[in-house]
Amino acid sequence: MKRTEIVLIGDVIKSRKRFNPEEWKYFHQLIKKINNEFHSSIKIPITIYSGDSFGGICNSVESAIDILLAIQEHHKYHKSRVVLIEDEISFGLETKNFLNLEGPALWKSQGLLDNLKKSASFFLSDLQNELKTLTVNTILNLILSIRNDWSEIEWAVYKHQGLPITQKDLAEKLEVSQQYISKILNASKIKLVREAENNLTQILHGIDTTIH
């Protein structure tokens, strides 16, 4: 049985026309922050290349999804399109440098990114298990699409969802009315997104259990 790796590759949408020095600096700081926060979930650090592209190797599909969601949450200037590939890396793993890697997983990435550019989706995966691929592509694209248009206050409410804080206290913290918090929770589908994120993790675990 071939040894496969979980490769995460993305690029910033429309960045070539819009990047300025402040945004460029923030992009690099974001990737550094992601590598630090998810150090234990990353096999080869996420690296920026070709100006606005990035890639790395994750320990699992689940950790790659967590990283992708974090990138969307914190990348305030631009949106990204991302592909997730489970396939072989033929050369370069021992260097721990993404830019030195070669193999089928890397060769597939450009074709998948090209397909994404032709669609309205933010994400596309090609995993070894077809059911897992369909599940991740469907649920994750729905999550990313809903979160795509959130405002700063919607993101703030999302971050506090599930924490031991009342709507009243959250409203006071964000300096808005409690009614507004309730309205955001319903209109922004924040509870639905949280539920979908949790369910996706459980479904993937169930698929892995069935496979093994």
Structure confidence at residue 203 (pLDDT): 95
**Mean pLDDT for the chain?**
91
- Coil vs helix vs strand at 121: coil
Rounded to an integer, what distance in angstroms lies between the CA atom of residue 212 and that of residue 199?
Answer: 20
Share of the chain above pLDDT 90, in %: 74
Q: Are strands 80-87 and 123-126 parallel, antiparallel or unpaired?
A: parallel
Instruction: DSSP for 129-173, please give it.
Output: SHHHHHHHHHHHHHHHHHHHT--HHHHHHHHHTTSS--HHHHHHH
Looking at residue 13, the DSSP 8-state letter turns out to be: T
Rg (CA), the chain: 18
Type of residue at 16: R
* Region 81-94 average pLDDT: 96
Whether this prediction's pTM lies above 0.75 is answered by yes
Instruction: For 97-131, write each residue's pLDDT tens digit.
Output: 999 999 999 999 989 999 998 887 899 999 999 99
Pair 114, 72: CB distance under 8 Å: no
Instruction: For 139-167, write each residue's pLDDT tens digit.
Output: 999 999 999 989 999 999 999 988 888 99
Rounded to an integer, what distance in angstroms lies between the CA atom of residue 174 and that of residue 23?
Answer: 26
Structure confidence at residue 16 (pLDDT): 56
Structure confidence at residue 17 (pLDDT): 57
Read off the tokens for 40.
């234990």
**CATH of 5-148 given 3.75.10.10, 2.60.40.730, 3.30.70.270, 3.30.2350.10:** 3.30.70.270
The full set of domain ranges for the chain reads 5-148
Structure confidence at residue 196 (pLDDT): 96
Structure confidence at residue 19 (pLDDT): 63
